[in-house]
Amino acid sequence: MATKSRCMWVSQDDAGAISCHPSEFEWPDLPEGHVRIRVHYSSLNYKDALAASGHPGVVRQLPIIPGIDAAGEVLQGGTSGLAEGASVMVAHAEFGTQVHGGYSEIVQVPSGWVFPLPENLSPRDAMAIGTAGFTAAQSVDELQRHSVWPDQGPVVVTGATGGVGVFAVKLLAKLGFEVHAVTGKADKAGWLKSNGAAEILTRADVDDTSDRPLLSSRWAGAVDTVGGNMLATVLRGAKPFSCVTACGLVAGHELNLTVYPFILRGVTLQGVDTANIPVERRREIWQRIATDWSFDNLDALVTEVDLDGLGGAIESILQGQVAGRVVVRI
């Protein structure tokens, strides 16, 4: 049965202008192999803001309903085996970018994109964490897989006031690491320390523009969320046999450096791709987030908006004015 739902609609007019505004969308009958979900909460990520702007590198075609995260309850499980009323999450590389996403009261997605919400997480908390917190947890998981441990020295987190950054700071501190947090927001230093940062660095501290192929060894590991020259600086200043994870490109997609960090210090550059991670590993990391890697005091990180307030939040995140997380109440 077709059903209407309120949503955030991104479209392009005949003159090429992009608009993003609340609207209504009529979902068709539920296709075979799909699940219909009533969304309670979504979240705002930088990728969502790009999708809402019609960025061609993020969305394949318009119109689109953005929202790469969603948590809610099953309305129709189809042949998925998911019971009506079950609390679930949706995550997939195409969700909110290539097919309609979480900024909608109703979503319909293939059953393989849906997995049960861990018992210890409410839909709101799950979306407070969302892709940002999951990316941070996946990054920390990669550091551990490359044998980076607290007794080996400090770790650095770039873009530390962003969603991924602050969750990385919190989780690394929880696990006993000395965390050096990099931010361009001087007024957030106390906030970062309250979330576990041991030392606050400015962007200039981690943005070396010299042509030196190697810098003094400073960090046993790193979670880089910004890319560009800051990532290159971190790699040149990494300790022997350290691991640097990379998950963002807001500071640039190019990486200008020599091979010396890799062949003279044995540094590992580990990419973090949350969109295409195998579903079993995704569930494993979410289970850790819900148990031994749980994030304390989530409400202190969260600003909540509804669909009517989402447009302003999108503008703020594009301008770099958001610290922490924006939860979208659907």
How confident is the model over 51-73, as pLDDT tens digits? 999 999 899 899 999 999 999 99
**DSSP structure class, residue 39:** E
Structure tokens at 21: 């505004």
- Which among 56, 47, 30 is positioned nearest to 101, based on CA atoms? 47
Is 173 among the domain residues?
yes
Is 231 among the domain residues?
yes
Q: Given pLDDT bands bounded at 50, 70 and 90, which one contains residue 1?
A: low
pLDDT over threshold 80, residue 79: no
110 in the same domain as 139? no
244 in the same domain as 154? yes
Is 122 among the domain residues?
no
The answer to whether the CB of 56 falls within 8 A of the CB of 31 is: no
The arithmetic mean of pLDDT across residues 212-227, rounded, is 97
200 in the same domain as 93? no
Counting residues of the chain whose pLDDT is more than 70, the rounded percentage is 99
What 191-195 contacts at long range (C-beta under 8 Å, 24+ apart), as own/partner pairs, is 191/161, 191/323, 192/160, 192/161, 192/166, 194/300, 195/166, 195/169, 195/170, 195/301
182 in the same domain as 99? no
Distance of CA 216 to the CA centre of its chain: 30
Give the end of a domain, one of 254, 271, 288.
271
217 in the same domain as 267? yes
The arithmetic mean of pLDDT across residues 236-258, rounded, is 96
Structural domain boundaries enclosing 220: 131-271
Question: Which pLDDT does position 93 carry in this prediction?
Answer: 84
- Give the pairing type, strands 18-27 and 3-12: antiparallel
Residues 6+ apart with CB under 8 A from 39: 70, 71, 72, 102, 104, 105, 106, 107, 330
Is 286 among the domain residues?
no
Is 123 among the domain residues?
no
136 in the same domain as 94? no
Is 281 among the domain residues?
no
Question: Which pLDDT does position 250 carry in this prediction?
Answer: 87
257 in the same domain as 157? yes
What confidence tens digit (pLDDT) does each residue in 265-306 have? 999 999 999 988 888 899 899 999 999 999 988 998 899 999
Q: Supply the DSSP string of 57-96, one letter for each residue.
A: TT-SSSSB---S-EEEEEEE-TTS-PPTT-EEEE--TTBT
Residues 6+ apart with CB under 8 A from 8: 20, 21, 22, 23, 52, 65, 66, 67, 103, 104, 307, 310
Residues 6+ apart with CB under 8 A from 116: 82, 86, 87, 88, 89
Instruction: From residue 314, give the alpha-carbon distance in Å to each of 17, 42, 163, 207, 321.
Output: 17, 13, 14, 27, 10
Is 21 among the domain residues?
yes
How far is it, in rounded angstroms, from Cα 199 to Cα 178? Answer: 8
93 in the same domain as 172? no
The answer to whether the CB of 214 falls within 8 A of the CB of 235 is: no
251 in the same domain as 138? yes
pTM recorded for the entire structure: 0.90
86 in the same domain as 52? yes
Four-residue CA torsion sign, 154, 158, 161, 162: negative
207 in the same domain as 101? no
How far is it, in rounded angstroms, from Cα 199 to Cα 124? Answer: 31
The answer to whether the CB of 182 falls within 8 A of the CB of 204 is: no
> How many domains are contained in the chain?
2
**DSSP structure class, residue 227:** -
Q: Look up the CATH number of the domain holding residue 90.
A: 3.90.180.10
Is 167 among the domain residues?
yes
